[in-house]
Every structure is written in C-alpha cells, then in structure tokens.
Amino acid sequence: MNIPVFQIDAFTDKPFIGNPAAVCLLMEEKSDEWMLNVAREMNCSETAFLLNKEMGISLRWFSPKTEVGLCGHATLASAHVLWEKGIVPRNEEILFFTKGGLLTAQYKEGWIELNFPAIEEKKVLPSEILLDALKVPVLYVGKSKYDYLVEIETEEILKDMNPDFETLKIAVPRGVIVTCQSDRPKYDFISRFFVPSLGINEDPVTGSAHCVLGPYWQKKLNKSELIAYQASERGGVIKVKIDDDRVYISGKAVTITDGVLLV
C-alpha cells in the first residue's frame, strides 16, 4: 500500500528556509520500529505520523534517533497538509491526540495557530561543563522538564555562537534553548536551539521551545503577545500568545515535496 508522504518547510512562507518536517498519512497502525526507520530515511529533525481516529487525528513524532514527546514544527506541518489536501476543511479546528496531550490547530488569516501547553522553567545553578560547552557569558540559566533555557546578553553574541556539541551531549540530557531580547523592533526576542543528543546539533525553528520561551519573555517584557525569530542558518518567524497555562504558537508553511512511500 502506498503511503502519502510530504516534506514541509514550517515557520516560513518561502521555500528552503524555516524547519523541514516530513509528514506521513497512515491508513493503519504501524510499529514503532517501522516509524523510526521511516524517520531515519526521511532524515528531517522530525517526521510526523498521522492516523485518523473517531475523535480526531492521532499524531506521533520521531527524530532519526527516537520518538519525541512534543514537537511544534511537525505539528504545524501536519495541519498544513491536512488543510492543503482537503482532508480537513480550513474552517474546522484540528484535534491532535499526542503523547504530549491534546493539541489543536486553527487556520487564522493565513497563519496556522497551534494551541500548546505552557511549560514552566525554574532557575538552576548551571554546571561548569554546560557553561564550557556553550562558550559564551550567560545572564540566566533555567530548566524545564525537557530542556535548559539560557539567556545571554546580545543578539550578536547569539548569532556568533559555536557551541562544543560533543561536550553539550554530555552536559544536557535533551536540548538547550539560548535566547536574548532582540535588537530589532519587529521582534521581541530571538533564540537558537541546540539538541545534539537527538542527533540534531541545531534545530532550525522549534515550536515546542516557544512553550518555554513565551512565558519566560512574557514575565520579562510584561506582554502576552510576542513576535519571535529563531536565528538558525535557515531561520523562521513565530507568533506567540500566552493565555494562562496555554501558549498559542502561529506560523506559516510551504509544501516542498508530495509523494508516496512504497514500503
């Protein structure tokens, strides 16, 4: 049976920037081993596997190394595919049932808005190995249930960062979000996200990181609607709105390939 598969650039309205994700539309349950093998073959930071259920869409995400607990850009890519292919009408909310909980997507004035959980981070004392791996002066270090959050002083320092990824693998169980206030008035804050333990030295644009970044910058800037830029080589723009324990993450997406898996 041929399985529809797409490659989508997420958090961009132009091809070849933003964050690539693969999206597979399954007709039946597949084993974890099969999905991991497909993710390795697609070789994107995440591959999304969608299966229609009675109440909504089952959604799972795999990196080339492991299953992922929460992923923004592949969720945004999944919503884009469901609407673009006419599987779900654009005026209907999509319900995604995931291991990270119930997530929703709505199409709003050309943007895809995802409803994600806010993720709390708390200040921690950083290890010397983490600081050595980052190789930049830090203003603040916090930790969520998934990742470290590190604030640094300037956009210039952030853009010039070149961490020691082998040391970072040892220092950080999953990833480290590095952020600062933006020098440019059109953005409130910028960030980069390093996840060498998942086989991705730097993730181009990370929706789930903004579940932590949104509440963090809401407190610092005293505003609940923010525009963010993830300053990887590919780069991407994210709208962030915080409402109590939810973070609304909005972006755009572009289809790059449309085909089928033959296995």
Q: Which residues are catalytic?
A: 46
Q: What's the angle, vertex CA 238, arms to CA 235 and CA 240, rounded to 5? A: 155
- E strand or H helix at 84: helix 73-84
Residue 23 one-letter amino acid: V
Q: Which residue, 189, 188, 171, is CA-closest to 180?
A: 189
If you search the block for the tokens 């640094």, which residue do you land on?
152
Asked if 155 and 180 touch (Cβ cutoff 8 Å), the reply is: yes
> Helices in 142-197 by DSSP H: which ranges?
155-160, 165-171
